């Protein structure tokens, strides 16, 4: 760090104490943020469960001394979030627009950003924490990219419980300055000034403490090419971001527009699962085979000559054996088996009971995580038994469609605004006031009996209701070109029929002419 930089930091600290420089402890201290800190404390707690970063468990040993050990957990938060994300959205999902030009453009953006794969991964964290956000941006090569933000990086500004029109994105980075770790926080504000002016403001904060946002510093400290304020007059019609909220009311804060995650209403039962599993693992560890023997039996003999062991009393047990333990006692102490039975059935029943409670609280069908002892099930049985999970999935799909609609709109807004590109040329024409007409085709996965679907649709083809091409695309995963090729090959394999020759040899009255010799 140069002398000039240290001097600037010194004056900046003094200015912050006098109120001349903006300083924040938490991002929610900013007057523009419309959410209280309690909501983000809740999200941080949920994040610790999702990361399986839980405190150690304390216990007392046989001597009455307090000890601690890592908690042996079942990370059901990760398990449930991953399961929901995979059945809600996967790589088979297709997004399409009615306008052919816009449809081709959006599909290219989706492919370039590997959106289907990325969204499933981010959706998992969104389900665990209660929400996620995304925004399009233009990189140095004038390519449109998608930036993602977790629930703890997204701060609503102007909002109601149904819609978020303004927000702030927070991103953190660290640097080593003068052998000290410095924490930088970049805040990107998206605001409206009236109905037609859209403003993006960037602010940078510096702190020497991880828990503190710190004092505002010049943006050029880390981002010399980034503008502090950008205004769009009558160009941007819709917000340049999208927010996904988990379905259901936020019962922690009824006025909050943020969603609640898997942990928020299931923390007690998750703790019960973790503590029961930890006790079971500890009992397995303590219940290993142990045999008590008099201490004299394991006492090494005196060395003889150059040998390490007494030739008269050599070792009789394998050096790796840990079954026998020395005990002090009277002369009549005998070899005693101290092994205790492991209460595996009791622990299994207890864990299954808590897992069934967890399934009920998170909207999964019974038996999704707990073990019911049944064998392999048919697809029809899975469909009938997963009705609760299917209803939960349907609620999430509504929010996912809303999120995708907002994100596609934001991408088209960016693509149609010349100011975002270094060459000053818009990539496409788009009017945000028009109906986007976005359609999303979700893959039903396990909820659809594929064999039954194929049989039913084959009957529709035979009845002339469904085209053969559509049948091939839906049931064999073919592209339109491949389906056309299949249909053409089938027609070529059929016997040829000369209809002209038949018509020429038949009179209008249906009689057939016969040539005379």
Backbone angles phi, psi at 374, to 5 degrees: -85, 160
DSSP H or E stretch at residue 484: helix 480-493
Q: Which residues lie across from 506 on neighbouring strands?
A: 512
- Listed in sequence order, the residues at least 6 apart from 242 whose beta carbon sits closer than 8 Å to its beta carbon are 133, 134, 135, 403, 404, 406, 407, 409, 410
Would you write out the chain's pLDDT as a tens digit for each of its 517 residues?
Answer: 454 455 455 445 544 444 456 899 999 999 999 899 999 999 999 999 999 999 999 988 777 889 999 999 999 999 999 999 988 988 778 888 888 899 999 999 999 999 988 999 999 999 999 999 999 999 999 999 999 999 999 999 977 656 899 999 999 999 999 889 999 999 999 999 988 899 999 999 999 999 999 999 999 999 998 999 999 988 899 999 999 999 999 999 988 999 999 999 999 999 999 999 999 998 888 777 777 777 666 665 545 445 555 555 566 566 666 777 777 666 667 777 777 788 889 999 999 999 999 999 999 888 888 765 454 444 445 455 567 888 899 899 999 999 999 999 999 999 999 999 999 999 999 988 888 888 888 876 555 556 667 787 788 888 888 888 888 877 776 667 778 888 888 888 877 655 454 444 444 444 444 444 3
Q: Sign of dihedral through CA atoms 63, 66, 72, 73? A: positive
pLDDT of residue 172: 94
Domain definitions of the chain by residue range:
288-339, 449-510
- The Cα–Cα gap between 265 and 25 comes to 29
Beta bridge partner(s), residue 189:
168, 201
What's 81-101 look like in SS3? HHHHHHHHCCCCCEEEECCHH
CA-CA distance, 263 to 243, in Å (whole number)?
20
Which residues are CB-neighbours of 307 under 8 A, at least 6 positions away? none
Q: Do the Cβ atoms of 409 and 436 come closer than 8 Å?
A: yes
- Angstrom distance (rounded) from CA 336 to CA 289: 11
Question: What sections of 287-429 are H helices per DSSP?
Answer: 344-362, 379-385, 387-415
3-state secondary structure 430-444: CCCCCCCCEEEECCC
Cβ atoms of residues 242 and 403 within 8 Å: yes
User: What residues have CB less than 8 Å from 53, skipping those under 6 apart?
Assistant: none
Residue 355 structure tokens: 């897992």
* Residues 89, 443: Cα–Cα separation, whole Å: 7
Backbone angles phi, psi at 113, to 5 degrees: -95, 5
Give residue-wise pLDDT tens across range 69-117.
999 999 999 999 999 998 898 877 888 888 889 999 999 999 999 998 8
**C-alpha distances in angstroms, 491 versus 162, 221, 462?**
54, 69, 16
Angstrom distance (rounded) from CA 274 to CA 57: 11
Contact 189, 168 (CB under 8 A): yes
Distance of alpha carbon 215 from its chain centroid, rounded?
Answer: 33
The pTM of the full predicted model, rounded to 2 decimals, is: 0.78
Q: What is the predicted pLDDT for the residue at 509?
A: 47
Q: Report residue 405 as tokens.
A: 């609609």
Torsion of CA 392, 398, 402, 405, to 10 degrees: 110
Task: Say if CB 233 and CB 196 are below 8 A apart.
Answer: yes
Question: Is residue 425 within 8 Å of residue 418, measured between CB atoms?
Answer: yes
Please give the distance of CA 115 from its chain centroid, rounded to a whole number. 13
Q: Are strands 291-294 and 324-327 parallel, antiparallel or unpaired?
A: parallel
Burial class (CB in 10 A: 0-12, 13-18, 19+), 476: exposed
Please check whether residue 117 is in contact with residue 90, taking contact to mean a CB–CB distance below 8 angstroms: no
**Spatial contact of 152 and 125, defined as CB atoms under 8 Å apart:** no
How far apart (Å, rounded) are the C-alpha atoms in residues 53 and 50?
Answer: 8
Residue 122: count of CB within 10 angstroms of its CB: 20
Q: Taking the CA of residue 138 as centre, how many other CA atoms within 13 Å lie in the half-sphere pointing to its CB? A: 21
Cα dihedral 142, 131, 82, 448, rounded to 10, equals -90
The pLDDT assigned to 489 comes to 86
Q: Could you identify the residue written with the tokens 């893959």?
A: 443
Closest CA to 43 of 252, 268, 254: 252
For residues 437 and 97, is the Cβ–Cβ distance under 8 A?
A: yes
239-261: buried (b, 16+ CB within 10 Å) or exposed (e) per residue? bbbbbbbbeeebeeeeebbbbbb
Contact in structure between 270 and 358 (CB atoms under 8 Å) = yes
> Which residues 6+ apart lie within 8 Å of 410 measured at CB?
135, 136, 238, 239, 240, 241, 242
Nearest one of 372, 376, 323 to 352, comparing CA atoms? 372
Residue 486 tokens, joined: 């299949």
């Amino acid at each position: 760090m140069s002398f000039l930089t240290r001097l600037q930091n010194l004056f900046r600290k003094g200015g912050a104490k006098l109120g001349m420089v903006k300083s924040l402890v938490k991002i929610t201290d900013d007057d523009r943020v419309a959410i209280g800190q309690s909501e983000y404390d809740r999200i941080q707690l949920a994040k610790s469960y999702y990361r399986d970063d839980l405190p150690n468990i304390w216990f007392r040993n046989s001597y009455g001394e307090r000890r601690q050990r890592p908690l042996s957990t079942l990370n059901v938060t990760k398990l449930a979030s991953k399961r929901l994300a995979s059945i809600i959205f996967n790589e088979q999902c297709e997004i399409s627009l009615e306008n052919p030009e816009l449809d081709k453009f959006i599909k290219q953006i989706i492919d370039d950003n590997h959106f289907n794969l990325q969204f499933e991964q981010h959706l998992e964290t969104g389900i665990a924490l209660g929400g996620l956000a995304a925004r399009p941006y233009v990189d140095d090569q004038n390519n449109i990219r998608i930036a993602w933000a977790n629930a703890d990086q997204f701060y609503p500004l102007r909002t109601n419980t149904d819609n978020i029109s303004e927000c702030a994105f927070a991103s953190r980075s660290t640097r080593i300055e003068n052998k000290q770790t410095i924490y930088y926080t970049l805040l990107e504000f998206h605001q409206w000034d009236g109905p037609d002016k859209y403003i993006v403001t960037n602010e940078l904060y510096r702190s020497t403490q991880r828990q503190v946002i710190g004092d505002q510093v010049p943006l050029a400290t880390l981002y010399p090419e980034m503008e502090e304020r950008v205004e769009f007059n009558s160009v941007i019609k819709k917000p340049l971001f999208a927010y996904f909220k988990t379905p259901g009311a936020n019962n922690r804060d009824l006025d909050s527009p943020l969603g609640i995650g898997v942990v928020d209403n299931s923390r007690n039962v998750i703790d019960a699962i973790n503590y029961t599993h930890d006790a079971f693992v500890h009992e397995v560890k303590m219940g290993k085979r142990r045999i008590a023997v008099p201490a004299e039996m394991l006492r090494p003999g005196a060395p003889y000559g150059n040998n390490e062991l007494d030739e008269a009393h050599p070792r009789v047990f394998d050096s790796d054996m840990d079954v026998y333990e020395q005990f002090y006692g009277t002369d009549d102490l005998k070899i005693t088996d101290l092994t205790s039975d492991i209460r595996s059935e009791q622990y299994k029943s207890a864990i299954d009971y808590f897992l069934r409670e967890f399934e009920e609280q998170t909207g999964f069908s019974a038996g999704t995580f707990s073990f019911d002892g049944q064998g392999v099930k048919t697809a029809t049985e899975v469909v009938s038994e997963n009705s609760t999970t299917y209803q939960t999935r349907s609620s999430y799909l509504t929010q996912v469609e809303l999120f995708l609609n907002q994100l596609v709109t934001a991408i088209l807004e960016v693509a149609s605004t010349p100011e975002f590109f270094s060459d000053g040329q818009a990539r496409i024409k788009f009017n945000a006031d028009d109906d986007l007409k976005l359609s999303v085709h979700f893959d039903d996965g396990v909820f659809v009996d594929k064999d039954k679907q194929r049989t039913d649709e084959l009957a529709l083809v035979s009845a002339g209701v469904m085209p053969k091409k559509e049948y091939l695309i839906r049931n064999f995963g073919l592209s339109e070109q491949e389906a056309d090729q299949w249909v053409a090959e089938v027609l070529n394999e059929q016997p040829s029929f000369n209809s002209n020759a038949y018509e020429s040899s038949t009179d209008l009255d249906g009689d057939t002419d016969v040539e005379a010799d």
